[in-house]
C-alpha cells in the first residue's frame, strides 16, 4: 500500500487512498486495471458493460449470436469472473467497485450480479439511479456511489434516497467540460455552464447537505474530469473534495485492459483531435476524432434526417433507449457496442475511442499504475520504467 500525504478517503468504514480509477467500458477497465489500483490502496472500478469480450470461450458461444438472452447471460458470467480476478489481484487492499450505466438495458441485472459476486461498491452514471437502494437492499454492506454533474442532480438523488432511508456512501462529481465518455449534460453546448464548475458544485453540495440536515454524515465528494497534475489534486482537496477520480490517465497505463493501440490513440491525441458529439444513448460524449468518428460526423446530419425505428444491428439490445434502433433523430446514429468493441481490440480505423479533453500526466507515455498514483499523491514523476509508445498506425503523433 502506498503512503499518502493526504487525508484518507473513508467509504463504508474502509480507509482508502483518495485516488479513484473511474469505470471505463467496453472492457477498458476490467480486472487487471481495477485490481492493480485497489492493490495499491485506492478505488479500482470494473466497467460492467459487455465484459464477455475479454473471455474467448464466451465469445466463441456468443460472438456471432443474435440471441440477447445468451449474450446477457455470458456477460453476467464474465462480470463474475472479472470481479473474482480483480479480488485476487487486490488481495483485500483498497476497494473494488463496479461501474454500471443507468442507460444500459441490463442495469438491474448487472447491479444484482455485482453484489452477488461480492463487489464492495456499485457506481452508477449515465442516468439517475433512483432505484439503486431497492436493487441492493439485500446487500447493505455494498457502498452506493452515484455519478452526478451538478447540485440539481445531487439534490434529486438525495431527496429520493432519503425517503427510502438510504444515503449515498460517496458521490462522484463529474465535470462534463473535461470528462471522457458520456457526459452528464443534456446538450452539447452546455459544457461551459457555470453550474458544472468544481468550486460551485462542491460548495453547493455542502450547503445542500446542511439544508437536508445530513452534513454530519460526511458523505465523501469525489471530483472527476480533467484531473492531470498533483497540484490540481491539492487544489481540489483544499476546495473540499475528498478524492479525485481519473479515467483517461488510467486507461493508458500498462495495466489498462485495452489493446496497446487503444492506449496510443488516447495518449497521442492532440487537443484538436478531441471532439464532443451525440451518443446513441441520447447523451453528449467526448472522444478522439479517429477515421471512423470523422467519417461518421461528416454523415451525421444525413443519418439523423433518415432516422427511423429498426432492429438492433447486432441483436444485443444493449441500451434502454438507442438512437439508432429506436430512430431518435437527435441522438447518435451508430451502434456504440460495435464501435467500442473495435476500439478495445485496437482497431484504430473502426473504433470509437472515448477520451477526456485535457493533457495526460505523462504526456504520450504508457506507465505503470503505481507511477501514476504516486505522482498524483506526491508530485514526484518517477523516471524509471518509462516506455515511450511508438505512434499508433493511422494516427499522427502529438
Ligand atoms: C475509454 C473511457 C471509457 C469510459 N467509460 C465509462 C463508463 O462506461 N461509465 C462511466 O460512468 N464512465 C466512463 N468513463 C468516464 C471515466 O470513468 C471518468 O469519470 C472520466 O474519464 C474522468 O475524466 P478524465 O478522463 O478527464 O480523467 C470512461 C472514460 C474513458 C476514458
Ligand atoms: S444498435 Fe443500439 S441497442 Fe443495439 S447493440 Fe447497438 S447500440 Fe446497443
Annotated domain spans of the chain = 9-265+365-377, 270-344
Q: Which CATH superfamily is domain 9-265+365-377 in?
A: Aldolase class I (3.20.20.70)
In ligand 1, which atom is closest to the CA atom of 45? Answer: 17
Examine the pLDDT at 397 and tell me if it is beyond 90: no
Give residue-wise pLDDT tens across range 233-291: 999 999 999 999 999 999 999 999 999 999 999 999 999 999 999 999 999 999 999 99
Length of the chain: 398
How much is the pLDDT for 392? 56
How much is the pLDDT for 391? 52
Q: Which residue has the higher pLDDT, 1 or 25?
A: 25
In ligand 1, which atom is closest to the CA atom of 355? Answer: 31
How much is the pLDDT for 352? 98
Give residue-wise pLDDT tens across range 162-220: 999 999 999 999 999 999 999 999 899 999 999 999 999 999 999 999 999 999 999 99
Which burial class, exposed, middle or buried, applies to 56 when counting CB atoms under 10 A from its CB (0-12, 13-18, 19+)?
A: exposed
- Rounded to the nearest angstrom, the distance between the alpha carbon of 21 and the centre of ligand 1 is 9
Give residue-wise pLDDT tens across range 95-127: 999 999 999 999 999 999 999 999 999 999 988
How much is the pLDDT for 107? 97
How much is the pLDDT for 335? 97
Examine the pLDDT at 3 and tell me if it is beyond 50: yes
Choosing from 68, 332, 336 the residue with most ligand 2 atoms within 8 A of its CB, the one to mutate for a pocket test is: 336
Ligand sitting nearest the alpha carbon of 104:
2
In ligand 1, which atom is closest to the CA atom of 47? Answer: 8
Concatenated DSSP letters of 153-170: HHHHHHHHHHTTT---S-
Examine the pLDDT at 390 and tell me if it is beyond 80: no
| Percentage of the chain exceeding pLDDT 70 | 96
Choosing from 23, 263, 337 the residue with most ligand 1 atoms within 8 A of its CB, the one to mutate for a pocket test is: 23
Q: Is residue 393 very low, low, confident or very high in pLDDT (cuts 50, 70, 90)?
A: low
How much is the pLDDT for 394? 52
Q: Which of 253, 199, 242, 246 is nearest to 226 (CA)?
A: 246
How much is the pLDDT for 162? 97
Q: Which of 205, 201, 224 is nearest to 214 (CA)?
A: 205
Q: Is residue 313 very low, low, confident or very high in pLDDT (cuts 50, 70, 90)?
A: very high
Q: In angstroms, rounded to a whole number, what is the distance separating the alpha carbons of residues 330 and 279?
A: 9
Stated pTM of the model: 0.96
Determine if ligand 2 sits within 6 Å of the CB of residue 171.
no
Examine the pLDDT at 306 and tell me if it is beyond 50: yes
Spatial CB neighbours of 60, under 8 Å, sequence gap ≥ 6 = none
How much is the pLDDT for 383? 74
Amino acid at each position: 500500500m502506498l503512503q499518502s500525504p493526504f487525508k484518507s478517503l473513508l467509504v463504508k468504514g474502509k480507509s482508502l487512498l483518495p485516488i479513484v480509477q473511474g469505470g471505463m467500458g467496453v472492457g477498458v477497465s476490467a480486472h487487471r486495471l481495477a485490481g492493480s489500483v485497489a492493490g495499491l490502496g485506492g478505488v479500482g472500478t470494473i466497467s460492467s458493460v459487455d465484459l464477455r469480450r475479454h473471455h474467448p470461450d464466451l465469445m466463441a458461444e456468443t460472438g456471432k449470436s443474435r440471441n440477447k438472452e445468451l449474450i446477457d447471460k455470458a456477460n453476467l458470467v464474465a462480470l463474475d469472473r472479472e470481479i473474482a480476478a480483480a479480488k485476487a489481484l487486490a488481495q483485500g487492499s483498497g476497494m473494488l467497485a463496479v461501474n454500471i450505466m443507468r442507460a444500459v438495458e441490463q442495469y438491474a441485472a448487472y447491479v444484482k450480479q455485482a453484489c452477488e459476486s461480492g463487489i464492495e461498491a456499485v457506481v452508477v452514471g449515465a442516468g439517475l439511479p433512483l432505484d439503486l437502494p431497492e436493487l441492493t437492499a439485500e446487500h447493505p454492506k455494498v457502498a452506493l456511489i452515484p455519478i452526478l454533474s451538478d447540485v440539481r442532480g445531487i439534490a434529486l438523488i438525495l431527496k429520493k434516497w432519503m425517503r427510502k432511508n438510504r444515503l449515498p456512501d460517496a458521490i462522484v462529481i463529474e465535470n462534463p467540460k473535461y470528462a471522457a465518455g458520456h457526459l452528464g449534460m443534456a446538450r452539447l453546448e452546455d459544457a461551459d455552464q457555470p453550474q458544472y464548475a468544481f468550486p460551485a458544485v462542491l460548495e453547493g453540495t455542502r450547503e445542500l447537505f446542511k439544508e437536508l440536515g445530513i452534513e454530519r454524515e460526511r458523505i465523501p465528494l469525489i471530483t472527476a474530469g480533467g484531473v492531470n497534475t498533483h497540484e490540481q489534486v491539492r487544489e481540489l482537496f483544499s476546495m473540499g473534495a475528498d478524492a479525485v477520480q481519473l479515467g483517461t490517465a488510467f486507461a493508458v497505463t500498462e495495466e489498462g485492459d485495452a489493446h496497446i493501440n487503444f492506449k496510443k490513440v488516447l495518449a497521442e491525441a492532440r487537443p484538436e483531435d478531441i471532439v464532443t458529439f451525440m451518443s446513441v444513448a441520447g447523451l453528449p460524449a467526448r472522444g478522439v476524432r479517429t477515421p471512423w468518428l470523422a467519417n461518421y460526423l461528416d454523415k451525421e446530419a444525413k443519418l439523423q434526417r433518415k432516422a427511423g425505428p429498426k432492429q438492433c444491428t447486432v441483436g444485443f439490445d444493449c441500451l434502454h433507449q438507442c438512437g439508432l434502433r429506436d430512430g431518435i433523430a437527435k441522438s447518435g446514429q451508430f451502434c456504440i457496442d460495435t464501435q467500442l468493441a473495435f476500439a478495445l481490440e485496437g482497431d484504430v480505423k473502426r473504433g470509437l475511442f472515448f477520451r477526456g479533453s485535457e493533457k495526460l500526466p505523462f504526456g504520450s507515455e504508457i506507465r505503470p499504475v503505481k507511477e501514476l498514483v504516486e505522482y498524483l499523491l506526491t508530485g514526484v514523476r518517477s523516471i524509471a520504467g518509462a516506455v515511450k509508445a511508438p505512434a499508433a498506425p493511422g494516427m499522427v503523433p502529438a
